[in-house]
Amino acid sequence: MDNPKIIFKNQHRENTLCALNGGQELSPCTIVIFGASGDLTARKLIPALFNLYKNDRLPEPLTIIGAARTEMTRQEFANRLKESMAPAQIDLKRWDEFCQNLYYQEVDYDSPHSFTVLADFLTDLDTQRKTKGNRIFYLAIPPSLYPTVADHIGQAGLANEGVQGKQWSRIVVEKPFGRDLKTAIELDTVLHKSFKEEQIYRIDHYLAKETIQNILMFRFANYIFEPLWNRNFIDYIGIIAAEKLGIEHRAGYYEQAGVLRDMFQNHMKQLLALTAMEAPSLFQDARVQDEKTKVFRSLKPLTEGNLFKDLILGQYSSGTIDRHKVPAYRNEPGVNASSATPTFALMRLFIDNWRWKHVPFYLVSGKRLREKITRIVVQFKKVPHSMFRHVLGEDISANRLIIGIYPHEKISLTFQTKTPGARLCLQPATMDFTYQSLGPGATPDAYEKVLLDCIQGDHMLFWRQDGVELTWAFLTPILEECESCRDLAGQLHPYPAGSWGPKTAMKWLKPIIS
């Protein structure tokens, strides 16, 4: 018999509370997208901006400038973007209207003169379109180009701001923020040559997912859970971000990064911080960031003892995904035939502070796994004394809270109930809250949210440099030990594509996926 489910729907919309600045007027501005001919611009940025435009959520006026090495006209740029959105079946009814805000400027990333020409172009457009000199520079380019482009933006005077915030300039960088602690610091040094910290927006689109934002609301706006959110009541916490896809066409990047650099320095650590952090005194970006950094500082180093006691690495072999045969990682195009790059990692972490002492956190991520899921599992401890043991035995399932992020955005709580009838039987029941119950349009795209926040000047969903450095400081010794390990091949456990990962990981992984 399946577990009964109690579904909670939002039946009291009149009681909804909204932030006081929810209707904040947005300043006119220009968004310059470097790498405008690339995949990120076509698949994510322009569709997000177009959807915001259709819903009248962008400032007026707004100018969007595509900048890339490719030579093309403004019309050719617009046509290319329109063609790229066709497979996504996006409603293009207002596309021609949106294109009135769309421009293109060819830029040679290695040429300072090219950025001077861009600066003149921006000045002319500011005057023509009355965008008041407010600018966002979005680096949708390979990370190796971040230092060069940021430096040229500064040399061209484009990072300069007016007094009292009357004219602002901001730069957006995508992860990865370096590939270890040293390169992260080097990148930050280059960015800070021209931009102040408050001008820099280090984007992690995971943070803009609606369920992830709701973690803090769930914990700190509801009194019934936070008193139990500690070592006295919680047995363990599991955080998993599993993917069915392989590396696609990113072999060059993935061979250098692997799963630890690709997922654990950024997405996984942010989910960990939101789950484990203390309550900030106010819901403001700086104070939330402060509490996150405290979590990162409290992480117990894995390299103090036997690293592979708390770290399980794997690499996918050939297998079946959705009834289709897929190759092993080493047989993917562009991958070294003897590659020792991990595509799966399970890390057991401990946070050395009063709240979480001795509570294990299991962080799991991998490619070519059975399902694409992202969730946080909070496993509570079993009841300390069962008065039912003489009739039901000692084994009564403990309460379990699941915060689902993908594919279903929901929050579920499992607890024990009596089965109807004369016999005394316990059965787990589940209370579900789903975001779909809030109605259509309740969950905006992650890129829509971060773009709006950048226009508003809100850093809540972005990385701060001290957090970047602390996570790299934790991860870099692990990477160095793995990469210098003589027996790394022996620690790299194969797993068939379409499975849940290496067999050696099942003792920790099974409770998280079940």
* Catalytic center residues: 267
Which residues have CB under 8 Å from 484's CB, separation 6+?
A: none
CA 145, chain centre distance (Å): 22
Residue written as token pair 């809100």: 458
How many other CB atoms are there within 10 angstroms of residue 263's CB atom? 22
Cis peptide before 61 (omega within 30 of 0): yes
Query: 171, 199 in Cβ contact below 8 A?
Result: yes
- Name 203's bridge partners: 174, 462
Rounded alpha-carbon distances, angstroms, from residue 440 to 127, 131, 443, 444: 40, 33, 8, 10
Cis peptide before 407 (omega within 30 of 0): yes
Query: 178, 186 in Cβ contact below 8 A?
Result: yes
How many other CB atoms are there within 10 angstroms of residue 514's CB atom? 7
The one-letter amino acid code at 322 reads D
Distance CA 436, CA 164 (A): 42
Q: What H or E segment, with its residue span, contains residue 418?
A: strand 410-418
Between CA 237 and CA 244, with CA 240 as vertex, the angle to 5 degrees is: 165
**Residue 383 DSSP SS3:** coil
For the CA atoms of 18, 462, 290, 476, the dihedral, rounded to the nearest 10 degrees, stands at 150
Tokens of 506: 């099942």
**Residue 175 DSSP SS3:** coil
**Of the candidates 110, 328, 69, 373, the residue with the CA atom closest to the CA atom of residue 238:** 373
Distance CA 498, CA 166 (A): 54
Distance CA 31, CA 46 (A): 11
Rounded alpha-carbon distances, angstroms, from residue 120 to 7, 123, 153, 173, 194: 58, 5, 12, 23, 18
Distance CA 336, CA 329 (A): 9
